[in-house]
Amino acid sequence: MSELQSALLLKKQLTELHKNPVEGFSAGLIDDNDIYKWEVLIIGPPDTLYEGGFFKAHVNFPKEYPLRPPKMKFVTEIWHPNIDKSGDVCISILHEPGDDKWGYEKASERWLPVHTVETILISVISMLADPNDESPANVDAAKDWRDNYPEFKRKVARCVRKSQEDI
């Protein structure tokens, strides 16, 4: 897919999200002159430890989108097994398409060109509610999640409070 086609597709998805907002997040461009760099605000999902939080993230799309996945990085501090300490999101649908060389994921779980900004963000919101501690990006958060849940809750609550101050 050419750069022009990927830009048109991203413009269409952005327009659609503005016309028909999806509960749980908002999205826009970081710079109006660059369709490939988005900023999203994810609202902590109800009935989860992240409820009440406002978590800002950047989504950077490759020129080959939708054939290749974007990269997503939280800029708001967040404690989660599938988000590394620098904020990078590690979720199957954002992994390059095809077979996983380590054998952890099926090709069908990885990036597919049918994914949209909406499906990506809904998956990330779902990940917040239901972490995968089997292949963590943040080993310490996964260890807290499994072995010291009160400490995990305390660290998440601190991130939620901090996110409310940053808005």
> What would the pLDDT profile of 58-83 be if each residue is shown by its tens digit?
999 999 999 999 999 999 999 999 99
Whether pLDDT at 122 is above 90: yes
3-state secondary structure 66-131: CCCCCEEEECCCCCECCECCCCEECCHHHCCCCCCCCCCCCHHHCCCCCCCHHHHHHHHHHHHHCC
Domains held by the chain: number: 1
**159 has catalytic annotation:** no
User: Would you say the C-alpha torsion 95, 101, 106, 107 has a positive or negative sign?
Assistant: positive
For the domain that residue 138 is a member of, what is the CATH number? 3.10.110.10
Determine the average pLDDT of the residues in 141-159: 97
Residue ranges making up the domain that contains 38: 1-166
Nearest to 50 by CA among 8, 20, 82, 79: 79
User: Of 42, 57, 90, 91, which one is the catalytic site residue?
Assistant: 90
For residue 116, is pLDDT > 70?
A: yes
Indicate the pTM of the whole model: 0.93
Counted residue by residue, the chain has a size of 167
